[in-house]
Amino acid sequence: MLRASRAMATTKEAKLIDAFINTIENFIQLSDAEKQLLQSAVTRVDEVKKGQVINCEEERPSHVHVVVEGWAYRYKYAEQGDRAIVGYLLPGDMSDIHITLLDHMDHSVGALTPAKIALIPLETIREIYENHIPLSYAFFWSSLISESILREWFVNNTVRPADKRVAHLLCEMLVRHQLAGLTHDNSFHLPLTQAELSDAVGITPVHTNRVLQRLRSEEMISLDKKRLAILDLERLMQFAEFSPSYLHLSEAYLRRLSN
Amino acid sequence: MLRASRAMATTKEAKLIDAFINTIENFIQLSDAEKQLLQSAVTRVDEVKKGQVINCEEERPSHVHVVVEGWAYRYKYAEQGDRAIVGYLLPGDMSDIHITLLDHMDHSVGALTPAKIALIPLETIREIYENHIPLSYAFFWSSLISESILREWFVNNTVRPADKRVAHLLCEMLVRHQLAGLTHDNSFHLPLTQAELSDAVGITPVHTNRVLQRLRSEEMISLDKKRLAILDLERLMQFAEFSPSYLHLSEAYLRRLSN
DNA sequence: CGGTGTCTTGACATTTCTCAAGTTGGGTGG
DNA sequence: CCACCCAACTTGAGAAATGTCAAGACACCG
């Protein structure tokens, strides 16, 4: 029975590996044994619907979640029902590694699109902490990267006007999609609703709409049927004051980007 | 020589322990040996002047810094010279544990007041990672707490209007000072300039001034000669939509707060 | 083919910013 | 001890950015 579920997991993990392991290897090279270990750590892969809650604020999840396919997002509601989107999770991103050391979620996580989510039991992660120090570095590292991204998001919403905020976010999304190999010619699938974009940059949907129109009319981007194309990356980055330093890209990735 | 500097350090560390070790012990109880280890990890205690830079963006520090006395702050400049203050560091806070795994600072750290800063060499931290797993949990934990605080700051600046932002920040500062035992009757020393407060909540100094006046005239706070008193904590917290859950306080601390 | 969610537009309200001019207060040199 | 000075704080008036409300257009889905 245990064996069976292992086997099931194995067929799915190929996908987990593609994204998550790839991400980790931006930090350290993993041995085959370590990859295998991560593979077998996944006990389940859930298919969740758009909008479904994956982790709820205040709860204590029993598993750590990794996005395999689709988009998820971190969010928090303020009192009058205003939602702040605190981060987007792309394939390969971990949602809640904090929970191995903290006793409750301080935010919620939900699916922004239909998604596949891999689950790893907390105890497995704890075992890794004890016995596979390089891998625990990797978890710590990935958490530090999300902290750095969050910090830049904070700066974005704190000092920049609405149009630059949106532009900055789009630049980041482009780079992160490039890293994941999900772009063609600076264009990629952006499943966000204008309202979902708004909640990440802290402006009104109506205003987001007008900002996007301006970016389009100035021919920095085109956005149609959820496909975003960056038409003039140079100019967009400059306009947004975007510098990818905070993403802590490895040399290898920086090279990949410049192609 | 080495021995001498150790001895020097030892006299100073009593302070380090008071704050930093205390903080850590909010997470796990440390053995005497572990406390000793942390003590001896400090190779130097610097006295820095107000405004002095401790870590600079893009650089790679050789030491991790811990605030012993005074306030420090994390910040980033946007292009037109706008500064975003990304966090305040109180005694006991670590400034740059990230640097053990990332290759450059993605933000700067400076002193907001005259301060004493303890330095721990990177290699020492790395040794701890390898040989003292519980202590490395503690470092990881403290980094997760700052991430959670940052997340709440993000929410604050993303969904709340100016007056609530300021109120929320003041609530947080009160709690953090209470934890550090730095309050008397809900009042404490707030060394911030109105401009420094402004850069943390993303509004103009002029506007901050008016917001503070409103909070004063509504008798929620009083603020004079850098001494902040929360006159009606209940009301201020409600107004700010403040809930300390994101600070991940231990039961023990929550009890302490309710006195 | 109808319906619901998303996008778009316009007109107006509100919040926050900008600029510019005081005012206050603590610190320093004479 | 005084006089001055500079940084921080305050105030006012008008400008700019962003929000609100309401209605219509569009587009995808069942």
Per-residue pLDDT tens, chain B, 259 aa: give them.
333 444 444 444 456 677 899 899 989 999 999 999 999 999 999 999 999 999 999 999 999 999 999 999 999 999 889 999 999 999 999 999 999 999 999 999 999 999 999 999 999 999 999 999 999 999 999 999 999 999 999 999 999 999 999 999 999 999 999 988 899 999 999 999 999 999 999 999 999 999 999 999 999 999 999 999 999 999 999 999 999 999 999 887 777 766 5
Rounded to whole angstroms, the Cα distance separating A242 from B172 reads 30
* pLDDT tens profile A4-55: 444 444 444 456 677 899 899 989 999 999 999 999 999 999 999 999 999 9
Q: What is the pLDDT of residue B258?
A: 64
Q: Which residue has the higher pLDDT, A124 or B254?
A: A124
Can you tell me the mean pLDDT for A150-158? 98
Interface test with B, best of A100, A158, A198, A207 (most B CBs within 10 A): A158
How many residue pairs bridge chain A and chain B with CB atoms within 8 Å of each other? 129
Assign B45 to helix, strand or coil.
Answer: strand
**Closest approach of A11 to chain B, Cα-based (Å):** 32
With contacts defined as CB-CB under 8 Å, which chain A residues touch B75? none
Q: Please report, in angstroms and rounded to a whole number, the separation of the first and last CA atoms in chain A.
A: 48
- The backbone torsions φ and ψ at residue A247, rounded to the nearest 5 degrees and listed phi first, read -85, -10
* Number of Cβ within a 10 Å radius of residue B5: 12
Q: What is the pLDDT of residue B14?
A: 58
Is B58 part of the contact surface with chain A (CB cutoff 8 Å)? yes
Q: Please give the protein residue whose CA is closest to the C1' of the nucleotide D27.
A: A225
Of A39, A163, A22, which is closest to residue A90 (Cα–Cα)? A22
Amino acid at A47: E
Of B101, B196, B5, which is closest to residue A136 (Cα–Cα)? B101
Q: Is the CB of A207 under 7 A from strand D?
A: yes
Alpha helix stretches (DSSP H) within B111-204 = 122-131, 133-159, 162-179, 194-201
Cα R_g (chain B), whole angstroms: 19
Is A253 part of the contact surface with chain B (CB cutoff 8 Å)? no
Is B129 part of the contact surface with chain A (CB cutoff 8 Å)? yes
How confident is residue A96, by pLDDT bands cut at 50, 70 and 90?
very high
Of A50, A54, A60, which is closest to residue A108 (Cα–Cα)? A54
Nearest to A151 among B103, B106, B246 (CB): B106
* Number of Cβ within a 10 Å radius of residue A181: 10
With contacts defined as CB-CB under 8 Å, which chain B residues touch A241? 78-79
Does the beta-carbon distance from B241 to A78 stay under 8 Å?
Answer: yes
Residues B201/B204/B205/B208 CA torsion (nearest 10 deg): -60
Q: For chain A, give the mean pLDDT.
A: 91
Rounded to whole angstroms, the Cα distance separating B202 from B157 reads 7
Is A210 part of the contact surface with chain B (CB cutoff 8 Å)? no
Is B248 part of the contact surface with chain A (CB cutoff 8 Å)? yes
pLDDT of A171 > 70? The answer is yes
Q: What is the pLDDT of residue B259?
A: 56
Report CA-CA distances (Å) from B146 to A68, A71, B28, B78: 27, 25, 17, 22
Classify residue B35 by burial, with Cβ atoms within 10 Å: 0-12, 13-18, 19+: middle
Of A161, A139, A187, A143, which is closest to residue A37 (Cα–Cα)? A139
Does the beta-carbon distance from A144 to B86 stay under 8 Å?
Answer: no
Does the beta-carbon distance from B151 to A103 stay under 8 Å?
Answer: no
Does the beta-carbon distance from A245 to B106 stay under 8 Å?
Answer: yes
- 8 Å CB contact between A215 and A163: yes
Integer distance in angstroms from CA B111 to C1' D4?
Answer: 29
Does the beta-carbon distance from A78 to B248 stay under 8 Å?
Answer: no
Chain D, protein-covered positions (CB within 7 A): 7-13, 17-22, 28
Q: Is the CB of B210 under 7 A from strand D?
A: yes
Residue B18 DSSP code: I
Rounded to whole angstroms, the Cα distance separating B22 from B256 reads 14
Q: What is the pLDDT of residue B252?
A: 76
Report CA-CA distances (Å) from B131 to A32, A139, B112, B135: 25, 18, 35, 9
Q: Which residue has the higher pLDDT, A187 or B11?
A: A187
Interface test with A, best of B75, B80, B95, B101 (most A CBs within 10 A): B101
Q: Please give the protein residue whose CA is closest to the C1' of the nucleotide C14.
A: B161
Classify residue B254 by burial, with Cβ atoms within 10 Å: 0-12, 13-18, 19+: exposed
Nearest to A241 among B74, B79, B133 (CB): B79
Nearest nt to the B161 alpha carbon by C1': C15
How confident is residue A258, by pLDDT bands cut at 50, 70 and 90?
low
Cβ neighbours of residue B4 closer than 8 Å, sequence gap 6 or more = none
Q: Which residue has the higher pLDDT, A19 or A164?
A: A164
**Closest approach of B201 to chain A, Cα-based (Å):** 7
**Closest approach of A21 to chain B, Cα-based (Å):** 17
Query: What is the sign, positive or negative, of the torsion defined by CA atoms of A244, A250, A253, A259?
Result: positive
- 8 Å CB contact between A133 and B129: yes
* pLDDT tens profile B42-67: 999 999 999 999 999 999 999 999 99
